[in-house]
Structure 1
């Protein structure tokens, strides 16, 4: 997954289901009625972009708006109400515009902005993550420093001064956290996860601040040192509160229930598919893919000593054993415990050259680096792509991988490395980097609509990344190795399982045993991967389905364009065009490319 759907999604949990910006104290005056609809929409869009950034300064830094780098978000009742009031005002102004009079591109942006405004209001007033999810605060504390220091968008002394100001404000953020959270509503898994991550803020100080502190002198250095000292005390006090108060008293249910889930899903995905339709399609696809995997297993196991029975019409147990036996051949080839990052770097080079050689899509020259995942972001996903904000140009994209925890046993480590075997490392690199999230993010940053760049769709991004896994495999990557295809289909099963799991956990009340059966039996995941996903499913909601729904809509879009263009269809031209729209929800890309009404 990409970071704006993980790191930034955590940072922006208060602001609804998508990413967004903030502003100066007063929005621009409402345009005169005589102005065109497009001019009126631009005024509303600019007002939202401006004001949103000021209300969400930590996110603003990540997005590339550096006017508020010395501030952090105000999560008090007053600060939350400011966002609600502002969103309601902008929603009224937006709804006063006749959308049919806008250009088709602006019609898309208007619908995206309307969804964001509604989700901001809904999250503050109905979902209320600020009252029960400590990840909101933890993400802001870490993001306040990380977003400033991870990329060189300004000289180090300037960023250190901003970091100093933010470190001075983090203790107040912790105080707001303690005042806002109701332990009776906080799920235990959320409290435990944040308790483990809390010290990660100081790890960021050690990694980014301390080694560079010498670039400040005089009063600036004195102020920085004082801020670090106060932050260390605040983190220690916060750890005591987390361990002694929040964790022992956390009694909330991590399941959000059908009503809230359906509302959140609709705003998070902006898809025409309902929860029920998503579930039905996912279950059908699960059966189809398992059937294809059995066909590959029969091929690679045929004639092998000790192979299980391989009948043409297997029982469920025979199919299971055959696929597991075939996957064992892939599991044997995996990197060493400390070799995952190096393996990903090599895979990135290979995948990039393959995309160019096969003319699959135009490849930009934007820089990308493979890094270890910062500590404060660990514990939710194994890897993510952290693209620079849409307002920052020419900066590095990070393909971040979480290291194997030091306290894992030999057996746990082996389980992880079997899951992330050498072939899976290639697929992970395809998904997160080339031609997945990194490539898509680079294209998205080029789209001229700032609004669309800021509200880049997670559905589009995750759907594109999964789409490219199949694209690379069917295009002959890894020399048409059948085991690579088998592992790719297993990876796709994870996508399918994500959608089923999310509903099962939050709507159907699944137990851990039910979830683990889906992951370890139905989708062939190793125990460590499945255990981690069980935690992730409890910590998040309505994000896991973005992979499956997104790729289904990507496939639907390609089919529609192929039907329209016929023999003139060109795969590279198609991919370049799909990516040229700046990553709105996929349904809008299909409507734009096939001349359908924007709905």
Structure 2
């Protein structure tokens, strides 16, 4: 499942010139002492880049934990996008002037990560141009403008409500900028339809703020209500534009094609792996995991008359046996009414298991299970929403979407079969602990704020998938074969994510072929597969990060085990690895084995 927001997606529209680092950021965390004048110069550049992003994207600043600009909004106009591009280009030029060989290893890592991010921003603006055709990138920013103020108690409620009042007053201009930036003729229909469903959810955020009006003095209450009325009117106007203009005129192509896809994938992974190599590895892994699932199916179906489970099955026999075994997994499931409570119990149990076993040192930062806000629903079932690195003591949110009220009983049943109690176990490990919550809480402590905000998607998503395997390995749920089977099915999803993304964006797959991969090869239920079909069309180059990162994490672990031999200590290994922050796994390997960084 995805992280709630890729922090790089929320990068501010930075200034063309470097800005001085102000006290709130510099005092937030002590950087590793500079070892040379080159280190000091790089620290100044990194600080200027961070400050530019914080100052020129107030929404990003709030999410990262700098609250100087909580009463302001971003510039989402075409001019704002151009400023972002020019800023990235300017900082990239300054960074290129550095001789990275003069930097300490920690700064070499940060310089490489920053270079990839800046180059990606320039490419995104000049070549991909998603700001002209993808309304979903705006939806995240607009919703986060309010959600970032109300979700976490980083300041007294009246202070946060005052900032929300100011931001809601700016919604007419903000949403007008969105309309001015988007070209409906270039917008894909699926993107327009998806944002049409999400935009209405913004009203629920306004109502959430209004429900807290009693914390304010009478005059401030009146201001809040007036601003809320302005915001609701602006949201309604924007919804009308989405419905009558954007959706009706949307005629863009959602498939990226090989050239755009390969370039975007390279920036997303920050890895030399090619699309062809990733697909070949995924297809091989798909066959291996299905074979392992068949072995478990033979075990749990032992003594049953049907289906047959011979030692060397045909393709049809393998399919039937795995499907029959999975029915045992699906039988243990929650109801729509108990789903959230079951997930909470599994989160509590996973936290207790990690604390009691030598897997990794658990964090002390809090985590809470909450319902996914309406404006974020419709793309994925679950999210992890960590606090920014400057608000790191605040809770991480494990967000789970409820079953939509307009679903038929058959659709709800399909969902609950997919997210049965055994699968919820793995999902909670993935989003909670020792997955995203644990890993990102530790990453947020890294001395380099830059590294905390520019995390590697393949490291983070790969770790969460790898963590699911580790819990099975460590005996979570007593190694129950149905837990192992459910985990392997989840792994099939990870593998087919990569194949699906390549297939739909480069190889021209239609819905039937995509659904066959998911429902037949990966045994996904119809509701899960239908949701993933939507996600594959509205996103690109993110779905492969799970498989690539999972594979890289296991490769690094096996290399560390081989080097350490009998002295290998899994907990010490994980603590060391997570202590690097969230750089690409290949960079973690360079740090772990004292290899040249690059």
2:20–2:51 Cα contact (<8 Å) kept: no
In structure 2, what is the equivalent of residue 262 of structure 1? 262
- Given that 1:21 and 1:49 are in contact with CA atoms closer than 8 Å, whether structure 2 keeps it comes out as no
Tell me how far 1:177 sits from its aligned partner.
1.8
- Please name the residue that 2:51 is paired with: 50
Q: Deviations over 1:205-240 (max 9, x none)?
A: 112x11111222354333222211111111111111
- In structure 1, how many angstroms separate the alpha carbons of the residues matched to 2:512 and 2:435? 33
Q: Which runs of 4+ in 1 moved over 6 A?
A: none
Using the alignment, how far apart are the partners of 1:97 and 1:70 within structure 2? 37
Task: Encode CA deviations 1:475-528: one digit per residue, 9 max, x unaligned.
Answer: 211111111111100000000000000000111111000100000000000000
State the distance in 1 between where 2:72 and 2:18 align. 18
3-state SS of paired residue (1:184): helix
**Partner residue in 2 for 1:568:** 567
Q: Residues 14 and 130 of structure 1 are in contact (CA less than 8 Å); yes or no, is this contact kept in structure 2?
A: no
Residue 55 of structure 1 and its aligned partner are, at CA, apart by 2.2
Matches within 5 A, 1:446-457: 446-457=445-456
The aligned counterpart of 2:252 is: 252
- The more displaced of 54-63 and 155-164 is 54-63
Structure 1 position 21, deviation (Å) = 9.0
Please give the residue correspondences for 1:90-489 in structure 2 after superposition, counting only pairs within 5 Å: 90-207=91-208, 209-304=209-304, 306-489=305-488
1:529 pairs with 2:528:
yes
**Structure 1 stretches lacking a partner, 5+ long:** none
1:59 alignment partner in structure 2 = 60
Structure 1 residue 153: Cα displacement? 0.5
2:170 is paired with a residue whose SS is helix
Contact 2:134–2:182 under 8 Å retained in 1: yes
Structure 1 residues 63 and 24: CA distance shift in structure 2, 3 A: farther
SS of 2:500's equivalent?
helix
- TM-score normalised to structure 2 length: 0.95
> How many angstroms apart in 2 are the aligned matches of 1:340 and 1:349?
15
Q: Does structure 2 retain, via aligned residues, the 8 Å contact 1:137–1:174?
A: no
Contact 1:443 1:580 in 2 (8 A): yes
Tell me if the contact between 1:115 and 1:267 (Cα under 8 Å) persists in the aligned partners: yes
Distance 1:551 1:110 in 2: 25
SS in structure 2 opposite 1:399?
strand
What is the alpha-carbon distance in structure 2 between the residues aligned to residue 183 and residue 490 of structure 1?
Answer: 39
Does the CA-based 8 Å contact 1:427-1:488 persist in structure 2? Answer: yes
2:149–2:160 Cα contact (<8 Å) kept? yes
8 Å CA contact 1:564, 1:594 repeated in 2: no
Contact 1:14–1:120, Cα closer than 8 Å, also in 2: no
Judge conservation of contact 1:168–1:231 (CA < 8 Å) in 2.
yes
Q: 1:307 to 1:50 in 2, by over 3 A?
A: same
Counterparts in 2 of 1:51 and 1:57: CA distance versus 1, 3 Å: same
Separation in structure 1 between the aligned mates of residue 430 and residue 385 of structure 2, nearest angstrom:
13
Q: Which residue of 1 aligns with 2:28?
A: none
1:533-554 C-alpha deviation (Å, 9 max, x unpaired):
0000011001111100011110
Aligned length: 585
SS at match of 1:230: helix
Q: Deviations over 1:106-154 (max 9, x none)?
A: 1110000011111111112211111101112222111100011100001
1:303-328 residue CA offsets vs partner (Å, 9 max, x unmatched): 02x42011111111110000000000
| Cα distance, 1:26 vs structure 2 | 5.3
Q: Is 1:48–1:90's contact at 8 Å kept on the other side of the alignment?
A: yes
Quote the Cα distance in structure 2 between the aligned partners of 1:55 and 1:506: 33
CA RMSD of aligned residues (A): 1.7
- TM-score of the two chains, using structure 1 as the length reference: 0.95
1:45-80, Cα deviation, whole Å (9 max, x unpaired): 011000011222212211111122112211222212
Give the 3 Å change call, closer, same or farther, for CA 338–22 of structure 1 in structure 2: farther
- Matched residues in 1 for 2:10 and 2:217: separation? 37
Range with bigger deviation, 275-284 or 353-362: 353-362
1:272 deviates by: 2.4
User: How much has 1:2 moved relative to structure 2?
Assistant: 4.9
SS at match of 1:371: strand
